[in-house]
């Protein structure tokens, strides 16, 4: 992939991640600390977490086009790295109660959910593109037959 | 080789004569080019030469310095390079969809997403051809009627 194209994809994913992490924080917060208010610091953490989550995306970079098998392997590797670094970041920060097992499981599940949703959104986007291509293909064929 | 071009009257048939000492590779190539402009390609199976109508061609593939033309039931070898065919057929609804494949857009039944920004073209024969991400913008443009 062209480095510029890859960078644009990373930036797009970053902003999607910010939204999804905010959604995850909101859901976990409502379950475990419904009376707490989100601080400016917490909002800032969202941007940092998204930046942290986007860095392993470099695993998906390749000058040559990847095969389906290569994409799947790299996606799994990317998920493992994202999960590990977010959990380490949680243990290193004092924003959440890392001693509470339920909270930590929720964070781990949330990371998986955010990762899955991000990839599902990409798949939906590709399906929309395919639908547009099929529509254009029909018109192209009827115009040229 | 000398080239003479003469303008003839509208009621006469246009034709091309080649006067040569022998029918060598160069002459064969010229003939092949002219035929491709007229909607035909020349392909070889087991040493026998065939004329293939472009409307019968599904795709053209380059494999290890050889180029093959795929119709519904046959695979012909051609002497042309893939980039030459790409140039010759760009006005004939053929499009490069990967490093090694020129696809007849009229033979695509449908398109479905493959992973990582790539797409798969399902041909009328059921055969599947990968459309590389790099060529997807060209495909979009071509289907919209652009060159």
Is residue B1 scored above 80 in pLDDT?
Answer: no
B123: how many CB neighbours lie within 10 A of its CB?
Answer: 18
Is residue A96 scored above 80 in pLDDT?
Answer: no
Nearest to B39 by CA among B27, B51, B53: B53
Is residue B134 scored above 90 in pLDDT?
Answer: no
What's the mean pLDDT in A80-105? 85
- Does the beta carbon of B119 lie under 8 angstroms from any beta carbon of chain A? yes
- Does the beta carbon of A38 lie under 8 angstroms from any beta carbon of chain B? no
Give the separation between CA B40 and CA B54, rounded to whole angstroms. Answer: 5
Nearest to A24 by CA among A103, A110, A95: A110
Retrieve residue B108's tokens.
């695509």
A145: chain B residues, CB-CB within 8 Å: 106
pLDDT interval class at B146 (50, 70, 90): low
Tell me whether residues B114 and A133 touch, CB distance under 8 A.
no
B59: how many CB neighbours lie within 10 A of its CB?
Answer: 22
Between residues B37 and A88, the one the model is more confident about: A88
* Percent of chain B surpassing pLDDT 90: 48
What's the mean pLDDT in A58-63? 86
What's the mean pLDDT in A25-31? 85
Give the separation between CA B147 and CA B136, rounded to whole angstroms. Answer: 13
Q: What is the pLDDT of residue A1?
A: 67
Give the three-class secondary structure for A25: helix
What's the mean pLDDT in B106-134? 92
Q: Do residues B17 and B27 touch, judged by C-beta distance below 8 A?
A: no
Instruction: List the single residue in B with minimal CA-CA distance to A128.
Output: B113
Q: What is the pLDDT of residue A136?
A: 94
Q: What is the pLDDT of residue A43?
A: 79
| pLDDT digits 0-9 by tens, B50-104 | 889 888 999 999 999 899 999 999 999 998 899 989 988 888 889 999 999 999 9
Give the separation between CA A141 and CA A46, rounded to whole angstroms. Answer: 48
Tell me whether residues B133 and A65 touch, CB distance under 8 A.
yes
């Amino acid at each position: 992939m062209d480095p510029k194209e890859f960078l644009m994809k990373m930036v797009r994913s970053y902003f999607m991640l910010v939204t999804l992490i905010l959604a995850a924080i909101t859901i976990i917060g409502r379950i475990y600390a419904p009376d707490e208010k989100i601080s400016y610091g917490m909002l800032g953490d969202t941007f940092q977490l998204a930046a942290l989550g986007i860095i392993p995306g470099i695993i998906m970079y390749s000058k040559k086009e990847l095969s389906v098998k290569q994409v799947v392997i790299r996606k799994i590797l990317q998920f493992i790295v994202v999960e590990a670094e977010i959990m380490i970041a949680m243990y290193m920060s004092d924003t959440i109660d890392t001693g509470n097992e339920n909270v930590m499981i929720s964070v781990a599940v949330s990371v998986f959910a955010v990762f899955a949703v991000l990839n599902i959104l990409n798949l939906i986007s590709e399906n929309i593109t395919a639908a547009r291509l099929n529509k254009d293909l029909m018109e192209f064929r009827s115009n040229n037959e | 080789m000398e080239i003479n071009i003469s303008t003839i009257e509208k009621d006469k048939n246009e034709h091309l004569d080649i006067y040569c000492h022998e029918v060598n590779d160069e002459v064969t190539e010229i003939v092949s080019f002219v035929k491709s402009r007229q909607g035909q390609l020349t392909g070889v199976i087991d040493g026998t030469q065939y004329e293939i109508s472009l409307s019968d061609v599904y795709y053209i593939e380059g494999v290890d310095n050889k180029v093959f033309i795929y119709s519904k039931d046959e695979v012909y070898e051609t002497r042309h390079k893939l980039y030459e065919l790409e140039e010759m057929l760009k006005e004939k609804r053929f499009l490069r969809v990967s490093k090694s494949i020129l696809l007849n857009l009229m033979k695509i039944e449908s398109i479905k997403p493959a992973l990582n920004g790539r797409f798969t073209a399902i041909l009328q024969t059921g055969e599947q051809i990968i459309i590389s991400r790099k060529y997807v913008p060209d495909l979009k443009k071509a289907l919209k009627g652009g060159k």
